[in-house]
Amino acid sequence: MRGPAAEVLTTTVSRMRRGTLRCVSSTENAASTSQQDPTPETAGSEAVTPEAGTAAAPSPGDATLADPAAGSPEGSDQPDVVPPEATTPEVVAPLPEAPAPAPAAAATPAPTTPEQPAAPSSDPSEWGRVDEEGTVYVRTADGERAVGSWQAGAPAEGLAHYARRYDDLATEVSLLEARLKAHTGNPSEIKAKAQALAESIPTATAVGDLDGLAARARAMVETADSAAAESRAEKAAARAAQVARKEALAAEAEQIAAESTSWKAAGDRLKAIVEEWKTIRGIDRKTDEALWSRFAAARDAFGRRRGAHFAALDAQRGEARAAKQELIAEAQRLSTSTDWGATSAAMRSLMDRWKAVPRTGRDGDDDLWKQFRAAQDVFFTARSEQDKARNAEQVANQQAKEEILAEAEKLDPSTDLRGAQNALRKLQERYDAIGHVPRGVMRQLEDRMQAVEQRVRGAVDSTRARVAPENPMVTSMRQAVSKAEEQLAKAESAGDARRIEQARANLETRREWLAEAERAASRR
C-alpha cells in the first residue's frame, strides 16, 4: 500500500494534468442535467455510457488501481469511462471536481524526499489504441489488454487520458527511485511501496510501457537491500565522524585539564567546547554518555586544579600580607628614631626585605606600600630637617673658623716669634672649640690653619740648630687619612650609598684626628 503523503502527491499531479477536461458551470446545473434526456450540448461533452451497475473508472491517485468494472464514489473528478462490454446509450453529464483530501490526511507529516522528478512523457499510440467502439487497449508483452472505454471525444484524447495515468505511475516510480538513490527515506518502506507498484502496474488501467515500468519497480525491490546497506554505511560513517569530533573535543579538554595554566583562556575554551558539543548529533546514547563523561571528568579536574592554584595563591598572598604588615610595624617603630646613621641603615634593610616579599594583589599591595612608605617618609623627613639645621650650624661654624684663620694669617713671627706663638696657640684653641663645618670646606680650612702653623714653626726652626724629626703620630694619622680617602673613592665608584656615607664619616673622623695630632705636635 502507498503512504498517505504519496497518495496526496499523486492525486494533486493527476488533477493538474486533467485541467483540460470540461465540466458544467455549477453543481446545480450538473445535478439537473443528470436527470434529463441527452441533448446535443450534453452529447458533445465528455460523457460515458456505463453499463447498468457500473460507474466511472477510479482515479489513478487512489490507493490501488481498480478494475474498470469496479464502482467509484459519486462526485469523482475523472472523465467517465466504461468497460468494453458497456452498450447502454444513456448519457450522463460530468460531475463537479471532487473535494480535496481530508485535512487529517493532509496534515500527516511526509518523510523528507528529494525534489520531484519531471513527469515522463511518452507517445500513447506506441503502447495502445482505441477501436471503433471506443474500447481502449494497452499493448504488453502478453498481448493487448482492454483498460477501459472512451466515449467522451476523439480516440487520441482517450489515449492521452490513459497515458496521463501511466505518467502518474511513472512519476511515482521515479520519485521512489530518487529517494532510494539519495537515501532520504526508509529503505524498507520504499521497498514495500516498490513491491506494491510492481504487483499493480501490470494490471493498471493506463496506456504506456507498463512492462518496463513494472521492471523498474521490481529493480527497486531487488536493490532496496543494497541501498539500505549503503544507507546504513553512510549513517555509520556520519556517526563515526561525529564521534571523532566529540572524541577530539574530549581529548582537548583532557589536555587542558592536565597542562593548561592560562586559567581564564582555558576556562573560556571549555565553555566554547560545551556549546560546540551541543551541535554534534547523531551518536548513540551509550557512546555519547561515555564521551560526555570523559569531557565532564576533564572539566572537573581542571576546575579542581584551578581551585587549588587560587587557594594556594590566596594562602601565599595571606603570608605575604602578614610579612609586609610586620615590616610596616617595624618601620613605624623606627620612624621616630633620631639615631640617623643606624636607623638609615635599618630602613634600607627593611626596603630590601620588602622587595623580597611576593605581591599580595594589586589593590592590597598598593595600600600596604603606602603605609610602609609613609613610615619611612616620617623618618627621612625628620632626618632631612635635622640635616638642614646641622648644615646651617656648620655654615655658622665655617664663618667663625674663617674669622679665626684671618686673624692667624695676620701673625708675623719674624718680628715677634714668642708673641706669634702665644697668639697662634690661643687662636688654635678657639678654632678647635668650634664644631663641625661643611665637609666641602673642611679640607680648605685645615690647610689654611696648617699653613699658618708651618709658617710659625718654620720661624722657630730657623732659630734652632737642628730640625726635630716629624712626630710619628702625625705621620700615622696622615697615612690613615690617605687610606680613608681611597675607601671613599672606591665607595663612590661602586655607587653604594651606604658605603659612601660610612666612608665619608670615617674620613671626617681621621682628618679631625690628624688635625689634633698636628696641633699637639706643633705645641711641643
pLDDT digit string, tens, across residues 376-426: 899 889 888 877 887 888 888 888 888 888 888 888 877 877 888 888 888
Determine the Cα–Cα distance for residues 10 and 127; give it in Å rounded to an integer: 22
Mean pLDDT of 445-472: 73
pLDDT at 54: 33
**Shared domain check, 316 and 271:** no
**Shared domain check, 262 and 172:** no
Does 208 fall in a domain? yes
- Counting other chains too, the contacts that 307-314 makes at CB distance below 8 Å and 24 or more residues apart are 309/261, 309/263, 310/263
Q: What domain range includes position 432?
A: 304-468
Does 225 fall in a domain? no
Per-residue confidence at 5, pLDDT binned at 50, 70, 90?
very low
Mean pLDDT of 470-488: 82
**Shared domain check, 425 and 326:** yes
User: How many Cα atoms occupy the beta-carbon half-sphere of 361 within 13 Å?
Assistant: 12
User: Count of residues for the chain?
Assistant: 524
Mean pLDDT of the chain: 74
Determine the Cα–Cα distance for residues 337 and 345; give it in Å rounded to an integer: 12
**Shared domain check, 299 and 312:** no
Is the pLDDT at 56 greater than 90? The verdict is no
The H-or-E segment that residue 429 falls in is helix 417-433
Question: 147-176 burial, b for 16+ CB within 10 Å, e for fewer?
Answer: bbbbbbbeeeebbbbbbbbbbbbbbbbbbb
Q: Is the model more confident about 252 or about 41?
A: 252
Q: Is the model more confident about 505 or about 27?
A: 505
**Shared domain check, 282 and 348:** no
pLDDT at 68: 34
**Shared domain check, 279 and 373:** no
**Shared domain check, 167 and 31:** yes
Final residue in a domain of this structure, among 170, 191, 220: 220
**Shared domain check, 429 and 352:** yes
Does 13 fall in a domain? yes
Is the pLDDT at 374 greater than 60? The verdict is yes
pLDDT at 234: 77
The domain total for the chain is: 4
Phi (first) and psi of residue 85, to 5 degrees: -85, 0
Is the pLDDT at 3 greater than 50? The verdict is no
Does 204 fall in a domain? yes
Determine the Cα–Cα distance for residues 177 and 180; give it in Å rounded to an integer: 5
Is the pLDDT at 304 greater than 80? The verdict is yes
pLDDT tens-place string over residues 240-257: 899 999 999 999 999 999
pLDDT at 248: 94
Cell numbers at 449, concatenated: 690653619
**Shared domain check, 308 and 399:** yes
What type of residue is 371?
A: Q
Final residue in a domain of this structure, among 447, 468, 489: 468
Write the DSSP assignment of 90-137 as a string of letters: ---PPPPPPPPPPHHHHTSPPPP-PPPPPPP---HHHHEEE-TT-EEE
The H-or-E segment that residue 139 falls in is strand 135-140
Mean pLDDT of 342-348: 90
Residue bearing cell 646641622 = 390
pLDDT at 70: 34
Is the pLDDT at 87 greater than 70? The verdict is no
3-state SS class at 12: helix
**Shared domain check, 510 and 361:** no
Determine the Cα–Cα distance for residues 344 and 499; give it in Å rounded to an integer: 12
Does 227 fall in a domain? no
Final residue in a domain of this structure, among 425, 442, 468: 468
Determine the Cα–Cα distance for residues 469 and 483; give it in Å rounded to an integer: 23
% of the chain with per-residue pLDDT over 90: 14
- Cα 264 to the center of its chain, rounded Å: 11
Determine the Cα–Cα distance for residues 196 and 211; give it in Å rounded to an integer: 15
Does 230 fall in a domain? no
Mean pLDDT of 25-50: 34
Does 226 fall in a domain? no
Per-residue confidence at 159, pLDDT binned at 50, 70, 90?
confident
**Shared domain check, 162 and 48:** yes
pLDDT at 121: 57
Determine the Cα–Cα distance for residues 72 and 166; give it in Å rounded to an integer: 19
Is the pLDDT at 329 greater than 50? The verdict is yes
Phi (first) and psi of residue 139, to 5 degrees: -95, 130
Q: Is the model more confident about 506 or about 222?
A: 506
Per-residue confidence at 16, pLDDT binned at 50, 70, 90?
very low
**Shared domain check, 310 and 288:** no
Mean pLDDT of 179-191: 78
Write the DSSP assignment of 357-421 as a string of letters: SPP--HHHHHHHHHHHHHHHHHHHHHHHHHHHHHHHHHHHHHHHHHHHHHHHHT--TTT-HHHHH
Determine the Cα–Cα distance for residues 328 and 26; give it in Å rounded to an integer: 107
User: In this structure, are residues 72 and 57 in contact, taking their beta carbons and an 8 Å threshold?
Assistant: yes
pTM of this structure: 0.39
